[in-house]
Amino acid sequence: VIVFAILGVLMVASAIFTVTAKRPVYSVVGLLANFICLAATYLTLQAEFLAVIQIVVYSGAILILFVFVIALLSSGVRPFDVGPNRAPHILIPAAIFAAVTFVAIAVTAVRTPLPAASKATQALAGTTGDANAFGSTSDFGIALFTANLLPFEVTAFILMVAVIGVVLIAGDQDPVTGVSRRRKRSGIRESVVKPSRGVTLSPSKGERAS
Amino acid sequence: MSVSPNAYVALSSMLFFIGVVGVIARRNPLIMLMSIELLFNAANLALVAYARAWGNNAGHIFAFLVITVAAAEAAIGLAIVAVTFRRTRFVDVDEVSALRG
């Protein structure tokens, strides 16, 4: 109970910090604290595999992605700062919407019937670490690759589509014309440089390809 | 000794609430994306809490799939943010109105 209270307070505090931070970098730090606390909460819920996945995927991959994008964008002309948020003129509808959401979730949560301290839950207590216990990696893996194999494969497909989409959206080449976007945008500078560089560079590329 | 699932779900709904406020009230696209991650995490916490309550690991599977889809979503969202910023130099989602949304 004490662990849950500490983790809950930390998670809410870091989430509030994430939302209210002035700069995105501080926000990322708050989000990192939130993810780590959430992973610890998963451990208290006997979801060991999900705790590890949470650390690896969220703290390891997604946050690094955020940090990269922030670093990439803040090297531009204008400092990548936040400025004022939308709060002054949208505060009332936002508060109403958020309160309605909160109340709806809370009411639904309270009304949902639960097997209060059933035999299953009692049997689950303290079995963390056993090979075939609830929430262990082997339990998770058996469920994932037998009963839920199709969702797993669909997820793989979604990831592939996401990778291709990211390459198409953010890649250097325009997907339709095949023209390099970078060259197209800085056309003036490119035309100045071209006579000296284009002649020597393109044959060597062709040679290397052949 | 063990915490009731309702406490976990209450915590989850509080996180969801904070994330909703973040999505609505902030203008920085990066912080909006992070708030969306908060929403995903709140949903995951509820899923795992109910999975624990029922002794059924289908919630774990679903939370795992949600994490995967969240990774894909973050990648695409950040790519869109990067491209938009490269093109317009705006960091305010209200100023990016080329689609007249």
Tokens for A10?
């930390």
Determine contact: B15 vs chain A, CB below 8 A: yes
- Tell me if residue B66 falls in helix, strand or coil: helix
Q: Which residues, numbered 162 to 201 in chain A, qualify as contacts with chain B under a Cβ-Cβ cut-off of 8 Å?
A: 162-163, 165-166, 169-170
Question: Cβ of B5: how many Cβ atoms within 10 Å?
Answer: 24
A90 contacts B13? CB cut-off 8 A: no
Kindly report, residue by residue over A38-56, the tens digit of the pLDDT.
Answer: 999 988 888 888 889 889 9
Q: Which of B1, B13, B27 sits opposite A86 (nearest CB)?
A: B27
Nearest of A105, A109, A142, A128 to residue B57 by alpha carbon: A142
Kindly report, residue by residue over B67-101, the tens digit of the pLDDT.
Answer: 999 999 998 988 888 887 777 766 666 666 666 64
Say which residues have a Cβ less than 8 Å from residue B62's Cβ, sequence separation at least 6. B47
- What confidence score (pLDDT) does residue A91 get? 67
Kindly report, residue by residue over B23-32, the tens digit of the pLDDT.
Answer: 877 777 888 8
Nearest of B95, B91, B79, B80 to residue A76 by alpha carbon: B91
pLDDT band (50, 70, 90) for residue A132: low
pLDDT band (50, 70, 90) for residue A58: confident
Distance, in Å, from the CA atom of A169 to the CA atom of B34, rounded to the nearest integer, reads: 20
pLDDT band (50, 70, 90) for residue A178: low
Q: Is the pLDDT of residue A84 over 60?
A: no
pLDDT band (50, 70, 90) for residue B43: very high
- What confidence score (pLDDT) does residue A170 get? 78
Determine contact: A46 vs chain B, CB below 8 A: yes
Nearest of B69, B88, B20, B74 to residue A105 by alpha carbon: B20
pLDDT band (50, 70, 90) for residue A95: confident
Say which residues have a Cβ less than 8 Å from residue B18's Cβ, sequence separation at least 6. A12, A15, A16, A18, A19, B35, B38
Nearest of B48, B57, B62, B45 to residue A132 by alpha carbon: B57
Question: Cβ of B74: how many Cβ atoms within 10 Å?
Answer: 24
Name the minimum distance, in Å, from the CA of B26 to any CA of chain A: 5
Determine contact: B88 vs chain A, CB below 8 A: no
pLDDT band (50, 70, 90) for residue A182: low
**Mean pLDDT, chain A, as a whole number?**
72
pLDDT band (50, 70, 90) for residue B41: very high
- What confidence score (pLDDT) does residue A16 get? 86
Q: Write b or e for each residue in B22-50: b if 16 or more Cβ atoms lie within 10 A of its Cβ, otherwise e.
A: bbbbbbbbbbbbbbbbbbbbbbbbbbbbb
Name the minimum distance, in Å, from the CA of B47 to any CA of chain A: 11
- What confidence score (pLDDT) does residue A192 get? 42
Per the model's pLDDT, the better-predicted residue between B45 and A174 turns out to be B45
Kindly report, residue by residue over A4-43, the tens digit of the pLDDT.
Answer: 888 888 888 898 888 888 778 888 999 999 999 999 998 8
